[in-house]
Chain A
Amino acid sequence: NAGVTQTPKFQVLKTGQSMTLQCAQDMNHEYMSWYRQDPGMGLRLIHYSVGAGITDQGEVPNGYNVSRSTTEDFPLRLLSAAPSQTSVYFCASNKTGTNYGYTFGSGTRLTVV
């Protein structure tokens, strides 16, 4: 098992550019989510999904879109990047109905200039 794989690890964007952060898991986890981590703010939930075809908004969804066409993949799209979206982004997954808890990806460090 590769666990939760995030790509890319680092990215620099110009204001207004778009991009997609990729997240894939091979553990057949139903639940997947995206967080951003900023200094002093902890991890804030952007979007989450309880299964293929189902997505919902978290605490800070503005400026981000997600889709969940398969169980394995949960990409995060920035349609028009802004400097306020400079952050470290984490994807996580877990299997509902179990007590194993979250598995996190290694993160994507995004800088918007």
Chain B
Amino acid sequence: GIQVEQSPPDLILQEGANSTLRCNFSDSVNNLQWFHQNPWGQLINLFYIPSGTKQNGRLSATTVATERYSLLYISSSQTTDSGVYFCAVQNRDDKIIFGKGTRLHILP
């Protein structure tokens, strides 16, 4: 099946710093999503981005489908950005598969 790899696995930053999270996938995909899981366990959809670039406030994402990767950018980090960020891809057989996530700690 399709493999989804996220890097880095852990990231510790000072408040105000910028960060880039990466998602690589092993096969062509029909769509790709980024999620944030907050410290209380709630999963929130950030972007639905099978290709191209999207922006939402301090967050933006870019997917280059032909090269099988996606990037999530967080600018001017805030402590509320802490949590785990997941990438999930859907391939031809309709399965939506998650990576293992990047755990982000924003220090005040």
Partner of A104, one of B31, B43, B47, B99: B43
- Counting residue pairs across A and B whose Cβ atoms lie within 8 Å, the total is 56
Find out whether the CB atom of B41 lies under 8 angstroms from the CB atom of A45: no
Q: Is A75 an interface residue (CB 8 A)?
A: no
Find out whether the CB atom of A106 lies under 8 angstroms from the CB atom of B42: yes
Task: Classify chain B: how many residues form its interface, as a range.
Answer: 20 to 34
Partner of B45, one of A31, A33, A102: A102
Partner of A45, one of B31, B97, B101: B97
Q: Is B57 an interface residue (CB 8 A)?
A: no
Smallest beta-carbon distance A101→chain B, Å: 4
B64-108 interface code vs A (CB 8 A; 1 in, 0 out): 000000000000000000000010100001111111110000000
- Look across to chain B and name the residue whose beta carbon is closest to the beta carbon of A102: B45
